[in-house]
A and B are shown apart, each in its own frame.
Chain A
Amino acid sequence: MTNMKTGYVIAAAVAIALTGGAAQAAKTDIVIGLQLEPPHLDPTGAAAGAIDQVVYSNVFEGLTRFASDGSIIPGLAKSWEISDDGLSYIFHLNEGVTFHDGSAMDAEDVKFSLDRARAEDSTNAQKALFADIASVEAMDLATVKVTLSKQNGSFLFNMAWGDAVIVAPESIADIKTKPIGTGPFVLSNWVQGDRIELAKNPDYWGSAISLDKATFKFISDPTAAFAAVMAEDVNAFMAFPAPENLPQFDADPRFKVLVGSTEGETILAINNKLPPFDNVKIREAVAHAIDRQAIIDGAMFGYGTPIGTHFAPHNPAYIDLTALSAYDPEKSKALLAEAGFADGFTTTLKLPPPSYARRGGEIIASQLKAVGITVEISNLEWAQWLEQVFRGKDFGLSIVSHTEPMDIGIYGREDYYFQYGKPEFQALMAELNATTDPAERTSILQAAQTMISEDYVNAYLFQLANTGVANAKIEGLWANAPTQAVDLTGVSWTD
């Protein structure tokens, strides 16, 4: 490795000579690297996480907002009252808030945004979040009353999603390419395929931010990302695609590695209705055949926390059920024999593009082979995965990371791709919705976690770690990713 070090010394000298050695003044602009470019900039019009990464809290704001630890804090609504029966919410808006085009933000805009999201012909990807809203009334310019059709304990949580940001009717027409929000940054330039530049919003209503200019640069190729950071073409890279390079950034004084948690439960999804997986013994056998730590070390180079159920470990309600599905190949073989598959069987393993799936898939394939289950791997693109696995339910096993926050509810839906939907679980979910008291909600959530773990619905692997790299002199970047966002409001250089 020594020659690498000397290489740096020479390189630094040469680099300075070439680029004329820009003086290191207190910097107020930042270049963030991201893996995927957003298709467009309307967070209410598509599910792509890349859109939220760029615009959430930077360009657009909702009534409520995620803090870095995942809790819900006031956004455009400075305070709210909830009726005792939990069916009506009254939001008090901040005054003097303007959109980037100068038009005022008031209750009419909130009503327009919520009605638009829940309308019949709405193309909002998370339309379910607004399903329980019965009516939205603008009491006066600064207050909005929302009436629900049935109790929804997580309504404030839902309003913090990117898909629920407040937009204005005047600028809705070409919002996809000219986003007009209320946030501290304004879109200044978009070079398609390369970068998006945001500039400081001079008349921002909220507390001042320290950055004048922010550029998001899109680098999908992992090696290129590594090279870009190493060559300091970018100041930080959020959700770094290649965990294997992180030790090198750690060892380099110029950089610091931010490791946090995400809402991404990575699971080996099992098609519960496809024989032989309809037999719980077979599913249990699959669970015991998996060595989680080997996958984390092999695929994610040690970044990621093992999980025993479909729940985020950093959430207070999480209980550790990994023991239920510990790595025990012998037990796995015994279970297979019991279920009448002594000499194993063959099934399909359909993998979406991300590297956790492709690398994890190879490791799992060889681990399952050890117990007699042979899998045919087929690498699909997202569109094909959605078509064949998610909608077509034409799969035996698949690996995917569910990054939506608090999404244990999907186990209650009959038509969901791993097809569980046990009535007892649906009852638990209904009960959860009806309660707003935190302690009660935690016990219900824990019961739900235990049920899906004991039923071995899927083989729960690990929680996707949020791995970011940043220049050592940058403060305020979120380590965790409660939602797919790069909130730059608190970011600054410490020079």
Chain B
Amino acid sequence: MAVSDPSLSEPGLLRQVLRSRSLIIGVVLSALFIGAALVSYVWTPFDAETMNIPNKLKPPNLVHWFGTDHFGRDIFSMIMVGARTSIAVALIAVGIGMLLGVPLGLASAARRGSWLDELIMRGNDLVFAFPALLIAIMITAVFGPSAVNAIIAIGIFNIPVFARLTRGSALSLWTRDYVLSARVAGKGALRISVEHILPNITNLLIVQGTIQFSLGILAEAGLSYVGLGAQPPIPSWGRMLADSQTLITLAPHMALFPGFAILLTVLGLNLMGDGLRDLLDPRLRNARR
């Protein structure tokens, strides 16, 4: 992954943005769901939690656009509120991954070959070796299933991803001349990491961030599907899928809409990630032109 030289403020940026199809589709899809999550704080067609048992399992109609679930709740509203959970869990998990992973990566690159580097790298391999879902299940078995535990479980497995990415790209920057001249200017490893290394790998972190964000949404859906994510009454897409499973032949709409919500959000984020990678990595951009 070549480290980009030109910064974001490079002229003609807007022209490239408009030309990159995947970035536009990605941004529109992601904005759709993030928007839905934000709007859900203010307005949803029906209250996502009030039940209306006699009105249960209605297929999509003019009143309930996505139909009703097995308790008579409005699926459209649940998806809007569910977006809140999925996006919040995935976003915070990526945040944890970055906040802890990036400094670790920078430190082990700065101290290349030392015991600290070895320790961090072995630590990373160890976390990678553990099966992610099993550890998530164990965490929730110990502390009880909840959205917070899902965040911790997914967050833990983001740390080594960012640590490894940061270390790799930071290592290649440490050999650059401008880092050597900073050392000649008497700057210490910490100052160089913050002033010179970090700003030049932000592009990579943004791209990887969107990818991990989409993986986070899938992971949260998986966890709440097996009942370990956000607990009722907080709606979550994964749990909506789990509830709909036994009714799949009776009320297919109950399974289709949450599934598509996850699919389109993850697709949007991945397209945005690809678009950003093309935009920010000059080597690819030149080749495309």
- A: residues with CB less than 8 A from B are 4, 221-223, 226, 230, 241-242, 244-245, 247-248, 294, 297-298, 358-359, 361-363, 365-366, 377-381, 384
Q: A242-B246, A245-B247, A366-B50 are in contact. List 4 more A-B contacts (CB 8 A).
A: A244-B247, A298-B53, A377-B231, A379-B232
A245 touches B145 (CB 8 A): no
Chain A residues with CB below 8 A from B56, complex form: 297-298
Shortest A11–chain B CB gap in Å is 13
For A245, give the chain B residue with the smallest CB separation. B246
A106 to B232, CA, bound (A): 56
B246 touches A362 (CB 8 A): no
A378 in contact with B144 given A244-B70, A298-B51, A363-B71 (CB within 8 Å): yes
A381 to B231, CA, bound (A): 14
A298 to B247, CA, bound (A): 13
A242 to B247, CA, bound (A): 9
Chain B residues with CB below 8 A from A244, complex form: 70, 246-247, 250
A377 touches B71 (CB 8 A): no
Among B54, B72, B145, B231, the one with the most A-chain Cβ atoms within 10 Å of its Cβ is: B231
Q: How many residues of B contact A (CB 8 A)?
A: 23
A247 to B245, CA, bound (A): 16
A445 to B160, CA, bound (A): 64
The 5 closest A-B pairs by CB, nearest first: A242-B246, A222-B246, A223-B245, A298-B53, A294-B53
B232 touches A365 (CB 8 A): yes
- B248 within 8 Å of A (CB atoms): yes
A366 touches B233 (CB 8 A): yes
Chain A residues with CB below 8 A from B144, complex form: 378, 380, 384
Shortest B60–chain A CB gap in Å is 16
- B2 within 8 Å of A (CB atoms): no
Q: Which of B49, B50, B72, B245 contacts A222 (CB 8 A)?
A: B245
Q: Which of B49, B54, B145, B246 contacts A226 (CB 8 A)?
A: B246
- B249 within 8 Å of A (CB atoms): yes
A248 to B54, CA, bound (A): 19
- B103 within 8 Å of A (CB atoms): no
B232 touches A361 (CB 8 A): yes
Shortest B105–chain A CB gap in Å is 37
A223 to B246, CA, bound (A): 5
A241 to B245, CA, bound (A): 12
A366 in contact with B49 given A298-B71, A377-B231, A379-B231 (CB within 8 Å): yes
Within B14-70, the residues touching A (CB, 8 Å) are: 49-51, 53-54, 56, 70
Shortest A361–chain B CB gap in Å is 7
- B: residues with CB less than 8 A from A are 49-51, 53-54, 56, 70-72, 141, 144-146, 227, 231-233, 245-250
A4 to B249, CA, bound (A): 9
Chain A residues with CB below 8 A from B145, complex form: 378-379
Chain B residues with CB below 8 A from A221, complex form: 245
A248 touches B250 (CB 8 A): yes
Shortest B138–chain A CB gap in Å is 12
Shortest A115–chain B CB gap in Å is 39
Chain A residues with CB below 8 A from B250, complex form: 244-245, 247-248
Chain A residues with CB below 8 A from B245, complex form: 221-223
A-B contact pairs, 13 of them (CB 8 A): A244-B250, A245-B247, A294-B53, A358-B232, A359-B71, A363-B51, A363-B53, A366-B50, A377-B232, A377-B233, A378-B144, A379-B145, A381-B141
A379 touches B71 (CB 8 A): no
A298 touches B246 (CB 8 A): no
A298 to B248, CA, bound (A): 16
For A388, give the chain B residue with the smallest CB separation. B144
For A242, give the chain B residue with the smallest CB separation. B246
Chain B residues with CB below 8 A from A366, complex form: 49-51, 233
A294 to B54, CA, bound (A): 8
Q: Which of A222, A223, A298, A378 contacts B70 (CB 8 A)?
A: A298
A379 in contact with B227 given A365-B233, A366-B51 (CB within 8 Å): yes
Chain A residues with CB below 8 A from B50, complex form: 366
For A293, give the chain B residue with the smallest CB separation. B53
For A221, give the chain B residue with the smallest CB separation. B245
Chain B residues with CB below 8 A from A384, complex form: 141, 144
For A367, give the chain B residue with the smallest CB separation. B51
Chain A residues with CB below 8 A from B227, complex form: 379
Among B51, B72, B145, B227, the one with the most A-chain Cβ atoms within 10 Å of its Cβ is: B51
A362 in contact with B232 given A223-B245, A226-B246, A242-B246 (CB within 8 Å): yes
Chain A residues with CB below 8 A from B248, complex form: 223
